[in-house]
Structure 1
Amino acid sequence: MTLDEDLLDRIYEAAAIPEYWPDVLERLAAVGGAQAGALVAYRGREPAGHTSSRLYRDGYDDYLRNGAGIENVRPLRALDRQYPGFLSDLEVQSAQELARDEIYNRFLHPYGLQWTAGTLILSPSGDLLLVDVARATGEAPFDRASLEAIDRYRPHLARASLMASRLGLRAASDMTDAMQLLGLPAIALSGRGRVVAMNALGEALDDRVVTRGGDRIALEHRAADGLLTQAIEETRAGTVRSIPLPASEGQSALIVHILPLTGAAHDIFAAARSLMLVTDVAAPEAPTQELLAGLFDLTPAEARVARALASGLPLDRVAAEFGLSVQTIRNQLAAVFHKTGTSRQVELLRLLAGSAPLRRPLR
C-alpha cells in the first residue's frame, strides 16, 4: 500500500497552517475506515491546543469543556503498553468497561460516534501529540489492519506535530514570528540546504551545527553530516527524516528533524523549502519504544530491541527474552544502526541513553 502523497503534503502544511488540520484529520481517519479525527497538542504537561474534524468537533469540544475531571484510562494504558502506533479502544479496555465508560456515554455516543483508536506521539523535548480517530455508530470496531494502514502516516505526524505543538496549533504571521514561537533551535533552509533564517537558539548550537561554503548547513559530526546531506536531498523528493547527533564529552545527544515546507507553508516561510528543528534528548534513562519509533521510524520490533539494549541487556539475553534467535536480533540491530546513523553498539547506547520516557502526563 502506497502513501497518499497529497495527504503527506497536507500533514506538513498543517504543521504551519493549523486551519488545514480538520481536513487532514478527516482524511487520515478515512485511511482507517473511520469518519472523524482529533488531535490535542501538549507542551510539557500543559495542553497547547486542540483541533478536530467536522464530525468530532461538537463532542470533543463538549468533552474538553465538561469532562476534564474524568479520568481517561485509554491514553494511560497506551503509555504503559509503549506500543509505537495506533491502538483501538478494545485493545486497552474490555467491552464491559467501554459499556460503562463515562466519556463514551456522555461525549461520544450522543454525538453519533461509537468506537475510537488513538496514538500518543512523544518528543524528547517533552512535547506530546494525542491523535484520535473515531467510527460512527453502527460501524464495526477497529481491526488491526485498519490501524496499521494509519500507522504508515505516523512518522510524518510525529515530525509535523513537533512543530504544531510548539506553535500551539495557531498560525504564525511570518517566518520570524514562527521561529520565535517554536521555542526550539530552528533553521529555515533553501532547497539546496543553504541557511535562509535561523533563530537565536539555532545560533547557540554553532559548535555542533555549522555553515560551510555558500552558507550550506552542516553538522560537525561526520556521520551525522552525511545523513543530513542525504535528508536534505530526500526532502526535495518528498521524503523526510530525523537524524541523531550522538552525545560527546560534555554535550548531550541531539535529534535533528528535517520538515518539508510545502504548499501554503511557503506563505509563512518564504524562500525556505525545509525547516530544521533540533531537540535535546539529554536524560539518564532508557527511552520508550514509542519515542524511539517516533524519532527514527523504527518498526515495533526494532524499537523493542533498541530499548532492551539501552536498558543494558546483552544480545543473547534480548534474544532469550523475545523468544528469537541471536541472528534475528542481530538483523534487527543492523536495521536500527542504519536508521539511527550509528555503526557500533556502544554508539547506539550512548545515543539512546539520552531519550527519557514520559511520566504518565494525561488524565
Structure 2
Amino acid sequence: MLNDTLLGEIYEAAHIPELWPGLLDKLTAESDAWGGMLFTVSAGVTRWIASEATTPFFAQFLANGWMARNPLVERGVKRDHAGFLTDLDLFTPAELEAEPMYQDMRRLGGGQHVGTAINVPNGDTLVINIERRSGQSPFSRGDAERLDPYRPHLARAAMLAARYTQQRFENTVSDLELLGLASAAIGAQGAIIACNRRFEAMMPSLFKDGRGRLSIEDPVAQKVVFDLIDKSNASARPESVSIPIRAAGSDARAVLHMVPITGHARDVFTRAAHLLVVTPIGIERKLDLALVQGLFDLTPAEARTAGSIAQGLSVPETASQLGIAVNTVRAQLRAVFDKSGVGSQSELAALLSGVKSPG
C-alpha cells in the first residue's frame, strides 16, 4: 500500500530540488536500508545527490572512478525495466563476489542495491539507488516490488524537475536579453542548453552551434573556453572568467563572460554548467571605467590603471598620472591581465578601446 505522505513529498521534490535527500531518506526507511542516491548517467560530469548517511560513501565511490566503468548501471539501463531491480536481478552471486566494483563498495561499507533508471526529456538518464550496508541481507525481489508502485510517481517528479530547471535557464537568458545582453547556458561538455535571440544573432560571426558543443570562431578563445570547462568540471569551486573574442575576417570584438552554475542552481536535474554573457565592443565612444570594472570584475584601482593603459600611457606614466608607485601599477596590471584574459598592454588597450558609453 502506498504511503500518501511519501507520495506528496515525491511531487513536492519535483518543485524543490533541495528536498530530494530527505525523500531518499524516506525511500530508504521503506526499504530497511542505509541510504539512497540519485545520479545522472550522461557524458561528462556525474551530477548527484544522496542521503546524508551515504554521501561520504558515494563521494568516495565516484572518487575511485567507478562511474566510468559501472557494470551495475550498464546492465540496469540496458534492461530498460520500468521498475526497481536488485543486484541479483542483474548479476549471479558468483559475479557479485568477483566483480571489482562490488569488492570496493563492500570495502567502503555498502554494496547491496535496489534501483531504477528513468529517462528524462533533457536526454539524461537518472538512476535512483537504495543502498544497504555490506553486512545486511541482499535486496529481494519482494523488496523491489514494494518500491515499484512509487516508480511512476518518481519518474513524473523527475521529468517535472528537469522541465522546471530547463525553463529556469530559458527565463534567465530571456531576462538578460531584456537588459540588452546576449546570453546562453551551456552544459559540462559545452553544448548549448538555452540561448536568447541576441546570442543567436552572433551566429555565425562569433559562434556556431556545433555538433554537441558550442564553437567559437576565434580559435584562441575557443581553446581558452574549453580548457576552462575541463578545469571547472574537475574543480569543486570553479571561477568566473572574462575572455576577449574576435570574429574571423571582421573588426567585431566582444567579451565573453563565463559564470559557473553552482550550489542549488546546479541541481542534479540541471544540465547547464556555465552561463555565458557576451558584451559586444563598440568603438566611437568614451571609455567607461565603471563598465570596465563591471565587465572584468576589477577593483576601482585596477579599473583606473586599465583606463590609463587604454589611453596609451606607459606604466611609469600611469603611475605619475594616478599618483601611485610604479610597482603598484605593475601589480594592478597583472591582476587586470588575469581577469580580462589578455597578456600584454597593447592587447589590453586594443580590447578596452571598444568598451564605451554614450557621449
Confirm or deny a common fold (TM above 0.5). Answer: no
Greater RCO (Cα-Cα under 8 Å, separation 6 or more): 1
Which interval holds the TM-score relative to the shorter structure?
0.3 to 0.5
Q: Which has the larger radius of gyration?
A: 2
TM-score (norm 2): 0.44
